[in-house]
Structure 1
Amino acid sequence: MDGHVVLHFRIPFATRWGQHIVVYGEGSVLGNWDISRAHRLTCQHVDDRLIWEGRLKIPVVPSISYRYALVLEDGTVEKTEREARTVAFLSQPDGVIDLLDDWQDMSHPAYALSKSAFTDVILNGKTRVVGPTCAGQSAQPGLVVLKFRVWDWGLQDGDEVVMTGSLPQLGNWQQSQPLRLTEVETPYWEAEVAVPLKAFPVTYKYAIQNQSGSFSLEVGENRITALDSDPTAKTPAVVVRNDGPFRHEKLWRGSAAALPVFCLRTKDSVGVGEFADLKKLVDLCSATGMRMIQLLPVNDTSVYMNWWDSYPYSSLSVFALHPLYLSLDGLSGALPTELNRRISAARMELERGDVDYEATLAMKLAIARAVFDHEGDETLQSEGFKNFLADNENWLKPYAVFTFLRELFGTAEHWKWGTLHKPTAKVIDRLTSPDREHFRSLEFVYYLQYHLHCQLLDVSRYAAANRVALKGDLPIGVDKRSVDTWMNPALFNMQYSTGAPPDYFDRNGQNWGFPTYNWEEMSKDGYAWWRQRLTHMAQYFHAYRIDHILGFFRIWEIPGECTTGLLGHFRPSLPLTRHELESHGIWDFDRLCDPFVTWTILEDTFGDLAQEVASKYFVEHRQGYFKFRPQFASESDIEAIQARAGSPAWLVDEVQRTRTGLLRLRQNVVLLRDSQDSSHFYPRINLQDTSSFQELEPHWKGQLQWLHDDYFYRRQEDLWRVHALKTLPVLMGATRMLVCGEDLGMIPACVQPVLAELGLIGLRIQRMPSEPNQEFGDPASYPYMVVASPSCHDTSTSRAWWEEDPDRRERFFFQALGGEGPAPERCTPGIMKTIVRQHLESPAMWAIFPLQDLLALSPKFNTRPAHEETINNPTVRKHYWRYRMHVNVEQLLSDKDFVQELQALMLDAGRCAEADLPTKLNGRSG
């Protein structure tokens, strides 16, 4: 094509002072996708909208792609559109093409349906007949070619997009004569008409028409396409109207079951839930109209090689899968009789009420090794295994070496491995050489990971085929004793630990023991470690939950010698400076930063033991004032104080009380010194609760309380927002998985706006409302872009909470459930049904239920003591994660009453359609 064409960009966007809209894209005129060379648009007010526009003359080409960005005066990019647009009709030499666009914002709920959980799984049943792009009419005198473009990811099989409006070609608003659009590429639909100049402005709406002829008009005001109001502007030959998403009256809503893999029980599992068992849970979800299964992390956690490793969030490797979830039956289709006998015997021996982590893992590894010794070489020579090894050797070989060295040195604390504590590529190559004596052990590790990969991948494909998405979990941290910290030490701050400030779960805060991230170092390669990690997850999962998403705004960083979370501070954050404190009249920093211990405080804390405690653990540095002895100066030193083995019970109790009191005194500070800058300080969280604070004179107390509140609730908001907008978009853009965030706890004001801006799905737990001054959340008032749940793995189940907190139970029964009279002492199936129905009827996109809460609907399955169904107690530092269903999934599937009750609940709430349910189980189907 010869000649040039003028592109006239027009897009409404409400900017603030100092913000600008630019356009960039392919070709030199648009900067060849270099945003620093983008074309800056100008703005004007049209009615009540701010319209940004600009004209560019380019050579005529078959098509051109572009996108808009929001930038500051200095060129700093605030945000860009989620994807590029392509104009495929540029065959008007010397003509003008008006591009009328709307900003493609990730916050729009319709974009959620573009994620793989929907396109590849839940809505994957649609038969798509994609037609050619509208070829492009030639503009005739007095006519303008008007090209409409709209998109919709949520169409059902047989649906098509049509439009009606003020033109004869649009049926003059007669719904019986709509204009049919063509699906040119999923999910875009286009139509093209020639419009007389006098017919502008054109008003119209899109509609969905199905095979039966039903016509569903979109909601909202009529859409309008008008020509440029500038009388001096040249009339365009073509107007391309990018209308954005179809405006549905009802947004898609679904439901899901949540259960960690280890909690599953089937007739086939050996001692613990296995990946293969998920297929039967998929069957249950499919049968009842639930469209997702939410899991906890499934990565290897074998750090200590004991039951402490049952904690699924302390990853030994963020890539390796846990051998605990291996199906022994799935290792081979033809095992010798003796090995089959061993598997059957293990299944019977380990069939216990809860998971015996150590016995189960040991048994599985022993039998898997026997299978490997019998026929492993055949697997190692297979094409599938060779491809797996080639695709994953960058993490698999270091992981295998790490497990070998862990056994060799008797610890996963790699900083104790001498010269091997700093591995290089050459070291890994040398230690994985086939001529090494330990190479067979490494091959066994490869073999295990290959089978785990195949088994989980098989489950993922099975789930997708049944339109049930798998939702994984992205832990906020990794263990300090992990392959990742060993291989990538620069990415982690090993001298600190990650945790959470005091909250609903624990008034002492939480200390998870994970190193904090060195975000500055991670940014240097575009956060490659995160992108690789998520790409690996996406092989198996269609969605994921970001554990403690607040950590991507700011993390609660705790000195490495601490065992609780009370003495932490936020990173990043703006600390209090010496100058700032002095300007408030505060100057005695030793008094504020050192534990404040007086004789009176010792007596109040320890009673008759005060003198003994003072002489053993403290030094009196002036009359009546004490300092900790150096050997007891940290929380970890104090936690190490134990009664000797075999001590009488009274002594064990006395030591425990002494240890608790010493910890409280160690935490009796008002300010925390920054470890890297002596002129920077952090307020100790809840400093007003300390006796150190209470002993200060009134002026200091007032000033310090104000500074405390400013640090925690005001001064950090912009810093945290900027930090989250650097990191979270990288995670979200790494894959097409649907992203949800666990945004519980101490929520900064900047969090919800950022999640909304990014289109990230939040979490609402009814007993932990995010709204201030509310004791219980109201599911009916939840926003759309959230997960609504009555409980989660970090809380008691609904039944257990009902029994353990009678005072709140009474208020919940009255306020949330509208009950009358005293609340029942037990959470009956009727009460549980009311709670489930509230969540299902919520506007929330997802209603997700721990399987224990669904079991509570049935008098047949709610027989286990409620407290035994709790998965985790966050207040216990070394909690044993071992809960396992007391019934097997096959029993649930075969119980017609249970299945049909779940079906009815989902149908009545509009969380599924009758067509989604198997006819043989759906009592409503003909």
Structure 2
Amino acid sequence: MKLKFVISYRTSWGEQVCICGSLPELGNDEERNAVPLVPTSGDQWELEVDVKDVGEVSYRYLIKSNEETIHREFGKPRIHRSLKQFRNLTFRDIWRPNKHVENALYTAPFYKAFFQRAHQEQPTHTYDAKSNYVRFQLRAPRIGRDYQMAIVGSHECLGSWDENNIVLMSDEDFPVWTVDVPISEGAPPFEYKYVIYSHKDKKVVTWEEGENRYFPLLDFKQKKRLVVQSDEFFKYPVGAWKTAGVAIPVFSIRTENGAGIGEFADIPKLVDWSVKTGLEIIQVLPVNDTVATKTWTDSYPYAAISVDALHPIYGSMKAIGDLKDKKLQKQIDEEATKLNDLPEIDYEGVMNLKMKFYRQSYADNKAKFLKSKAFKAFLATNENWLKDYAAFCYLRDKHETVDFTQWGSYASITDEQLEQLVAPDKKHYDEVAVHYYIQFHLDAQLKNATNYARKHGVVLKGDIPIGIYRNSVDAWRLPHLFNMDTQAGAPPDDFSISGQNWGFPTYNWEEMAKDGYQWWKDRMVKMSDYFDVFRIDHILGFFRIWEIPRDHVEGILGHFNPALPVFKSELQERGIAFDYDRFCKPYIREHMMFDLFGSHAEQVIGQYLTKSEAQSAYQLKPEYDTQRKLQEHFDQQVANEPLSAEYNNWLKSNLLRLCGEVLLLEAPGTGGEAFNPRIGMHSTYSYQELDDYTKQRLDDLYNHYFYHRHNDFWRESAMQKLPMLKEATDMLICGEDLGMVPACVPGVMDELQILSLAIQRMPNDDREFWHPADTPYLSVTSTGSHDMSTLREWWQEDPDRTQRFYTTILGKEGGAPYYCEPWVAKEVIQQHLESPSMLSIIPLQDFVAMDGQLRRLLPEEERINVPANPQHYWRYRFHLTMEELLAQENFNGFLREMIDKGGRSSDY
């Protein structure tokens, strides 16, 4: 059997096209053994090998230079089957570029939901031994389930351009379409095109546009010859494919028979509404377990105690089944009804009720459950995290704290000790196994929702937090993967003028790289059980994270990690007369105290400051000389004097500002020899009271450091991590790239086909607002996020800004209405739906803002989160039940028309 491979590729000097495949003659799938092709005419490369009879071969092309792989073609290996009956095979291929807008269509949401194919029986081929064949292959995932690809061409074997004689193609290897056409000796050359056939209409509904494809003159005198013509990219005349979705946290979903919070079992009703309105994506917030303090503060969804375990609060008690104790079941049902009638979530009430139910349900069913094949299979599949998690929960409850450093001998634990702790023969085993029971049911309920959604052409979009909770299973069992003495956050932005401190430890990327980022890969695989699309919260953290020392509270005193700090020698070269005390210690002068504290200045000076050697200069007393010490002091003050909380918080805020009166921050690990400029230094007294020459030198340093110095450095940092994240699963990745975006970020995201986030009121350039028409195709456009006010509330926040938006974005004359009237919301959303963005995902609150009868009376009640408030209670519930929303035929029809008009409901 002879195999010949032919491909066109324009190489640069020193580059070599190679092939790596499943046969020994192709390197046995070992990239280091990839076989080079031989250049022929033009840009064409060929390779011919003799092999033993094979029925199947898989391979991929790559480019090498000096024996090193420098490029790999996009996608999974090419696979060809049903080959044994042929003696001479030629594979005519086209290089698959890694950067092409349609590459995103080869991810999970497209083949699992949007373009999911009905089950196809594998076709049986009957070949004439005297004939030769051309196998036409076309990669085309973008086609609805009621349609089929076909081919038509100038030769009679392809129908002689007659639509009634097209050749239908098989989707058994979807998204690759194939058909074997017998070819006579004198048939080629000829021209052809691919078309889309509608089974519903029984006719061709779309021809690909552009010039005809060309099959060249080839020798078909030899018998038993197969030529595989592999084509790429159906040339759609209808433009790029787009769709729309809705964003709503699971906890905010309301149903008639709920228990005071949205549950996984409620998602199918939201799917039904999405189908009715033409939406195909449901975006939610993180759904992992956050039970740390067992108070309402656990409502914060980005502080999970496990990156794998699901939150018990989202389990449906009804889906698990009634308790044997009918009286207790009645009490639970009655309490659930009361909780469900509340306008907002009573987090503690719901959690207490559900945990009572779970424990009793486990007691009722444990004997059968623990012996069941389903549980044993679940445990085996999830063993890499489930035992750790159950042990963590048991110890958390036993010690009444999630701070594992307080667990005595269990503050750290070996694998052997863990196995002993969770052994079934232990007296406390039920306290461990109850968490197996809860996770088993949560997993089943969320998978049921996921499968229901996929079946109806809808996908769930998950959210992956950038950090992990400091007191979590992952930090307990794998502390070497995290920098536990630091805190992750964000520099100042529109959300918070003093920056954000999330409190999470940062990642020890060097340690994670040692095993190929296995922790991340496992996390992604687990997430893909439930989601086909996911959002990376703060994707900028994969380029560099904003790292805050433990001594500080406010994000404004952080620095980027990794970073290229400024050494003393560079400061001197830039003409900056470096003075450690003046630049690196808090700059506190007497006149500042009266500016900040007014009539309380002398009292504050006496209690919190001491006079330094410099005249009129002060320093914080040792017991108050860090933000952390001040925070702890004032927390105690507020606890002791709750009626004076406002005054004490005011004092704290201004004293924290004094800690931030620095210009340069000492770079960790440099022994005081290198520094990072403090972000926002221009707003400090310290900067404002410098001489003009030093200001100018510091300005030059600041601008270079924050906007130029790190671009190549941070690109390299991201390219070590994000490709791994992408390759771990076939989920479609979206990145939340808001905030202080380095110049290298758009290029990396575009290269890796990661969709960016385009929020209209937070453009990533110097414009005040995006116009949705300006968004790139590989993006998600939205009116807002969970961290923002809703469209209606934002409209009322700043009338001058609203007027500018009204004039420049909506193109209206005259004064803007004070309230965001339904017609205004409609025009804003219509712009988003008509934008070029692949995905347009709108918060549910903004969708119903278009209907004056459906929307909530007060827009401020629709806010999900206030980032500037670290103690925010995440308790928002949508005011309508899913049943009520499904019944709104007029509104649902109106929304469906908008989706259609926006070009987001195409079958292909």
On whether the aligned pair clears a TM of 0.5, the verdict is yes
Q: Secondary structure at the match of 1:641?
A: helix
Match of 2:416 in 1: 426
Alignment CA distance shift 1:19-1:356 (3 Å):
farther
Match of 1:24 in 2: 20
Query: Mean Cα displacement is larger for which, 90-99 or 122-131?
Result: 90-99
Trace 1:321-400 onto structure 2 (pairs within 5 A): 321-333=310-322, 335-350=324-339, 351-400=341-390
Q: For residue 362 of structure 2, what is the amino acid of its counterpart?
A: F
Distance in 2 separating the partners of 1:710 and 1:45:
49
Match of 1:924 in 2: none
Match of 2:546 in 1: 556
Question: Displacement, 1:733?
Answer: 2.1
Question: Displacement, 1:509?
Answer: 1.5
Contact 2:775–2:837 (Cα < 8 Å) also in 1:
yes
Equivalent residue in structure 1 for 2:450, among 449, 460, 483: 460
Equivalent residue in structure 1 for 2:689, among 691, 695, 701: 695
Distance in 1 separating the partners of 2:870 and 2:607:
27
Distance in 1 separating the partners of 2:109 and 2:450:
11
Question: Displacement, 1:478?
Answer: 1.1
Match of 2:608 in 1: 617
Alignment CA distance shift 1:10-1:227 (3 Å):
farther
Q: For residue 421 of structure 2, what is the amino acid of its counterpart?
A: L
1:709-763 Cα offsets, whole Å, 9 max, x none, are 2222223222222232222222222223222222222222222222222222222
1:36 equivalent in alignment to 2:32 = yes
Q: For residue 605 of structure 1, what is the amino acid of its counterpart?
A: L
Match of 2:592 in 1: 601
Query: Mean Cα displacement is larger for which, 519-528 or 164-173?
Result: 164-173
Q: Secondary structure at the match of 2:618?
A: strand
Q: For residue 843 of structure 1, what is the amino acid of its counterpart?
A: P
Q: Secondary structure at the match of 1:118?
A: helix
Alignment CA distance shift 1:377-1:898 (3 Å):
farther
Match of 1:874 in 2: 867
Match of 1:154 in 2: 142
Contact 1:641–1:655 (Cα < 8 Å) also in 2:
no
Q: For residue 124 of structure 1, what is the amino acid of its counterpart?
A: Q
Distance in 2 separating the partners of 1:594 and 1:139:
86
Question: Displacement, 1:583?
Answer: 2.4
Contact 2:141–2:175 (Cα < 8 Å) also in 1:
yes
Match of 2:732 in 1: 738
Contact 1:102–1:243 (Cα < 8 Å) also in 2:
no
Question: Displacement, 1:540?
Answer: 2.0
Structure 1 gap ranges (5+): 229-235, 917-926
Distance in 2 separating the partners of 1:345 and 1:238:
71
Question: Displacement, 1:255?
Answer: 1.8
TM-score (norm 1): 0.89
1:754 equivalent in alignment to 2:748 = yes
1:809-854 Cα offsets, whole Å, 9 max, x none, are 1111222222232211211222222222222222222221211112
Question: Displacement, 1:486?
Answer: 0.5
1:473 equivalent in alignment to 2:463 = yes
Distance in 2 separating the partners of 1:789 and 1:97:
48
Query: Mean Cα displacement is larger for which, 525-534 or 618-627?
Result: 618-627
Question: Displacement, 1:489?
Answer: 0.8
Q: Secondary structure at the match of 1:10?
A: strand
Alignment CA distance shift 1:862-1:215 (3 Å):
closer
1:274-296 Cα offsets, whole Å, 9 max, x none, are 11122221221122221221111
Distance in 2 separating the partners of 1:756 and 1:821:
40
Question: Displacement, 1:355?
Answer: 0.6
Match of 1:246 in 2: 234
Distance in 2 separating the partners of 1:546 and 1:53:
40
Contact 1:832–1:857 (Cα < 8 Å) also in 2:
yes
Q: Secondary structure at the match of 2:68?
A: coil
Alignment CA distance shift 1:135-1:675 (3 Å):
farther
Match of 1:231 in 2: none
Trace 1:95-244 onto structure 2 (pairs within 5 A): 97=90, 99-105=92-98, 107-124=99-116, 126=118, 128=120, 130-131=122-123, 147-165=135-153, 167=155, 169-170=157-158, 178-183=166-171, 185-190=173-178, 191-192=180-181, 194=183, 203-211=191-199, 212-224=202-214, 240-244=228-232
Structure 2 gap ranges (5+): 219-223
Question: Displacement, 1:182?
Answer: 4.3
1:47-103 Cα offsets, whole Å, 9 max, x none, are xxxx36354544355343322234555726455532212355988999794644222
Trace 1:515-914 onto structure 2 (pairs within 5 A): 515-590=505-580, 591-619=582-610, 620-642=612-634, 643=637, 645=639, 647=641, 652-678=645-671, 679-770=673-764, 772-912=765-905
Query: Mean Cα displacement is larger for which, 694-703 or 843-852?
Result: 694-703
TM-score (norm 2): 0.91
Alignment CA distance shift 1:399-1:158 (3 Å):
closer
Match of 2:75 in 1: 82
Alignment CA distance shift 1:222-1:849 (3 Å):
same
Contact 1:131–1:183 (Cα < 8 Å) also in 2:
no
Contact 1:60–1:90 (Cα < 8 Å) also in 2:
no
Distance in 2 separating the partners of 1:226 and 1:703:
66
1:395-434 Cα offsets, whole Å, 9 max, x none, are 2222122122222333212123233222111111121123
Contact 1:596–1:665 (Cα < 8 Å) also in 2:
yes
Q: How many residues get paired? A: 893
Query: Mean Cα displacement is larger for which, 480-489 or 243-252?
Result: 243-252
What CA RMSD, in Å, does the superposition of the two structures yield over aligned residues?
3.1
Match of 1:919 in 2: none
Q: Secondary structure at the match of 1:787?
A: strand
Distance in 2 separating the partners of 1:43 and 1:702:
58
Question: Displacement, 1:297?
Answer: 0.8
1:880-900 Cα offsets, whole Å, 9 max, x none, are 100012221111112222222
Contact 1:161–1:180 (Cα < 8 Å) also in 2:
yes
Question: Displacement, 1:359?
Answer: 1.8
Percent of pairs with identical residues: 37
Q: Secondary structure at the match of 2:548?
A: strand
Distance in 2 separating the partners of 1:440 and 1:747:
49
Equivalent residue in structure 1 for 2:395, among 402, 405, 408: 405
Q: For residue 632 of structure 2, what is the amino acid of its counterpart?
A: A
1:608-652 Cα offsets, whole Å, 9 max, x none, are 333333343333132223333332222212222323556485x54
Alignment CA distance shift 1:410-1:691 (3 Å):
same
Question: Displacement, 1:158?
Answer: 4.4
Contact 2:259–2:336 (Cα < 8 Å) also in 1:
yes
Match of 1:10 in 2: 7
Contact 1:130–1:185 (Cα < 8 Å) also in 2:
no
Query: Mean Cα displacement is larger for which, 173-182 or 529-538?
Result: 173-182
Distance in 1 separating the partners of 2:309 and 2:172:
41
1:449 equivalent in alignment to 2:439 = yes
Question: Displacement, 1:508?
Answer: 1.5
Q: Secondary structure at the match of 2:116?
A: coil
Trace 1:225-304 onto structure 2 (pairs within 5 A): 240-250=228-238, 251-304=240-293
